[in-house]
Structure 1
Amino acid sequence: MTAIPNMVQLSRVCLRKYGHFVDNIRLYVRAGTGGMGLPRLGGYGGQGGNVFVVATENMTLKRIKDKHPHKRFLAGVGANSSVRSLKGESGMDKEILVPVGVTVTTDKGKIIGDLNAKGDRLMVAKGGHGGSLSSAFLPSKGQSRQIKLDLKLIADMGLVGFPNAGKSSLLTVLSNATPQIANYPFTTLQPEIGKLLYDDHKQISVADLPGLIEGAHMNKGMGHKFLKHVERTKYLLLVVDVCGFQLASQTAFRSTFEAVQLLTKELELYKEELVNKPALLIVNKMDLPYAEENLEQLKEQLLNPEYYCRTLLPTDLIPKGHMTFRHVVPVSATTGFGVDRLKGLIRESLQEVDAMDTEPFRQERLQLLTRSL
């Protein structure tokens, strides 16, 4: 039987292995200075090169970090005007290839732009003007700045749950992903994306996010490093253990209902609008003893969450609002029970969300809102 590591060991393991996954990086970028103009013939100096960030596939922030340890990206300078070439050539642009899903911000946190699809381009430093008559033939310097690349995984669905709820096992039986699996908390130490494949070749991407712990919104455990990846998913899949959850012997045992509410609380404290995302509740490990009785109790408690929250949880752990689940789906990642039904419901639920985002539905919602005003 696998021994459960103590919390100190777990923290060291998390920090060590998380180092292989980089989801933010700071870079220095400098555009090129323009070229000198030629006063006696009225020549124009070349424009300094620009620096662009470009989204591409099969790229990671870690690869950028490893390939460019100095994290400096400089564009070319513009050529001086000359007798042979009165208009100097422009400096060469510099492209920084980044993964899809990156948000680019200034060093002070102001958003410059998002790169959400392959081929998206964003200028992050503009080249200086070449010298001309209007500038006494003197060029201007290119823009220089510190920028931050912040990766938020883009997936259709996001698996969210406390450690050892069985998210990785579930992703394995649902998709083509092969995450590390073991019978102790914090097995998943970096986000993993799997693809659900259907007979008609439809694909749905699912991100398995490392297990939250109470206090994740305050950066306990891996905190914001993982919660931020929930933001760009269309749909949440909350996964709970039908027999409840206890992180370690010195921490409180949480029932399945309490686990649902504490997950809700963590999402709410990180970013309140996350609680309003459409969601399915997946009750895993239905092969365990007393699973049916626990499931029925959970369903009853979810019908009156305010009452049971007041009864079971301290006031400071009760979420302001309660998540509404389209379905409560019992499964066993071990035996395969309920997995085919879950796969079907995932597709059906995502289609509902996509349909609500089409133009006719947007117009209908706008009309209803206008009438209410």
Structure 2
Amino acid sequence: MVWISRICYRKVCKRLQIQLHYTSLARNTILTLANQSSAHGVATSWYLSLENETVSLILVFCLFFLQYGNFVDNLRLYVRGGSGGMGLPRLGGQGGKGGDVWVVAQKEITLKKMKDKYPQKRFTAGVGANSSVQALRGQKGEDQEILTPPGITVTDDNGKALGELNHEGDRVLVARGGLGGSYHSGFLPKKAQARIIRLDLRLIADIGLVGFPNAGKSSLLTALSHAKPQIASYAFTTLRPEIGTVMYDDHKQISVADLPGLIEGAHMNRGMGHQFLKHVERTKQLLFVVDVCGFQLASKTPFRSAFEAVQLLSKELELYKEELLCKPAVLVVNKMDLPGAEHKLTELQEQLQTPQEFSHLLPEDMVPKNNVVFRHVIPISAVTGLGITHLKTYIRQSLDEDASLATESLHRDKLQAKTPSMGKGITPNTHRHYR
């Protein structure tokens, strides 16, 4: 698929008759467009300027695939347990059971590595041994283990959940081996279980960054952690999730996931919305990141203020899964180093206090039914470092408080479970005296 995208890209460039001067800058631009992952940013700017929208969309898709194709977050596999072994009628021997197929979590594995290593995506367990004079009870077939990264949800092809793999070493049985032949089955083996399963990766992180393209999420992740996501002044610079780790002086670590920018209609899978929104589900807290000056996705789309961006983000999460709005959330207002930022921040804070009064700024179908209640609004500049220290401190404090409350609630539930229920008609602390 990658080489097809490259061929399509070259043909599109020829079709458009792109004229570039043969300077060193032009040659570097051509190489970037053809081979490097940063090409999609340039392609996006071309899309905004080209008259031939259909052809330019093809160009953007080809470059998008070259970048996003390196990240795999779901796989569809065929799995089949091993067949049972034949029984031995004249001696009453029982055939060996077929092997089972398991999905096992291992940290070093990625779905991309799995896809490259097993292009056929078929896994079959070993066959049970037949019963024989030397061994009346046949040996069990060898189990097949499918190694996957932690954070995997396993479902069958109908969407039924089979299990989750959240930690290294977790195991989920996905296909049972057939029973060996015995007296009850006429010494004929039973068929093994066979089906198609789906492996769906959902990143597990403490904090999830949510925002529209070019809000500065990648710059914020770099400022908070040692991650080096791709950063450029184009929309859609981040095309795959990035995980960064925030380090504290006491060696405490907090993971932060930079999710690709959403677009209006992400809940309907526009812009591959489902593949991005699903990663929000497993984060403990959400950081909404908005540009204090607002943004415009493309020349043909309307300009959105910071308040409108917050409302639209809330609406997209609400339509995808309403429970996401109940997650603890913090609003990070980025790019406070720009002129007029203080005035716009004050205006945003006033609008957030009474969002119903400003709902007329958006079409009715874009206004969320329930507004996100932000724990805190933190103005920052990811470029200059303004407010980053305060943000790191607040994230740590907020997560620690939530963890403490969760621990107290768990202890309370355990104590209530251990307390014996009182019998009917017996008053507590009442002593009965017998003669």
1:190 and 1:360 mapped to 2: Cα distance? 36
1:232 aligns with 2:273: no
Instruction: Decide which of 84, 89, 101 is 2:134's aligned counterpart.
Output: 84
1:30 and 2:71 equivalent?
Answer: no
Q: Which residue of 2 aligns with 1:147?
A: 197
Q: 1:132: which partner in 2?
A: 182
Secondary structure of 1:325's counterpart equals coil
Instruction: State the partner residue of 1:318.
Output: 367
Once the two structures are superposed, residues 261-292 of structure 1 have per-residue CA deviations (whole angstroms, 9 ceiling, x without a partner) of: 00001111111111111001000111110011
TM-score, length-normalised on structure 1?
0.94
Note if 1:62 corresponds to 2:112.
Answer: yes
Whole-Å Cα distance in 2 between the matches of residues 295 and 105 of structure 1? 45
Compare 58-67 and 336-345 and name the one that shifted more: 58-67
Could you tell me which amino acid in structure 2 is paired with residue 241 of structure 1? D
CA contact (8 A) 1:159 1:206 kept: yes
Secondary structure of the structure 1 residue equivalent to 2:312: helix
**Higher strand residue share:** 1
Deviations 1:205-225 (A, max 9, x none): 111000001111111112111
On the 8 A contact 1:53/1:123 being kept in 2, the answer is: yes
The Cα of 1:11 is off from its aligned counterpart by 4.1
User: Larger relative contact order (C-alpha < 8 A, sep ≥ 6)?
Assistant: 1
Please tell me whether Structure 1 or Structure 2 has the larger radius of gyration of its CA atoms.
2
CA distance in 2, matches of 1:11, 1:307: 40
Q: 1:44-95 deviations in whole A, cap 9, x for unaligned?
A: 1111000000011021111111111111000000001111111111000000
Gaps of 5+ in 1: 368-373
Q: Percent identity?
A: 65
CA distance in 1, matches of 2:411, 2:155: 30
Whole-angstrom CA distance in 2 between matches of 1:151 and 1:359: 31
Matched position secondary structure for 1:258: helix
When the two structures are aligned, how many residues end up with a matched partner?
364
Amino acid at match of 1:180: Q
Aligned residue for 1:360?
Answer: 409
Q: C-alpha distance in 1, partners of 2:303/2:334? A: 17
Say which of 329, 336, 342 aligns to 1:286: 336
Whether the 8 Å contact between 1:48 and 1:142 is mirrored in structure 2 is yes
Pick the structure with more helix per residue: 2
Gaps of 5+ in 2: 1-40, 49-56, 417-435
Residue in structure 1 matching 2:378, options 318, 323, 329: 329
Residue in 2 that maps onto 1:41: 91
TM-score scaled by structure 2? 0.81
How big is the shift at 1:42?
Answer: 1.4
What does 1:1-373 align with in structure 2 at a 5 Å threshold? 4-6=45-47, 8=57, 9-310=59-360, 312-360=361-409, 363=412
Partner Cα separation in structure 1 for residue 344 and residue 410 of structure 2: 39
CA deviation after TM superposition for structure 1 residue 363, in Å: 4.1
Question: In structure 1, what is the Cα distance between the partners aligned to 2:365 and 2:340?
Answer: 30
Q: Give the SS at the match of 2:396.
A: helix
Shift of 1:360: 3.1
- Structure 2 residue matching 1:113: 3-state secondary structure: strand
The answer on whether the counterparts of 1:11 and 1:221 sit within 8 Å (CA) in structure 2 is no
Displacement of 1:362: 7.7
What is the DSSP-based 3-state SS (H/G/I as helix, E as strand, rest coil) of the residue aligned with 1:300?
Answer: helix
Cα RMSD for the two superposed structures: 1.6
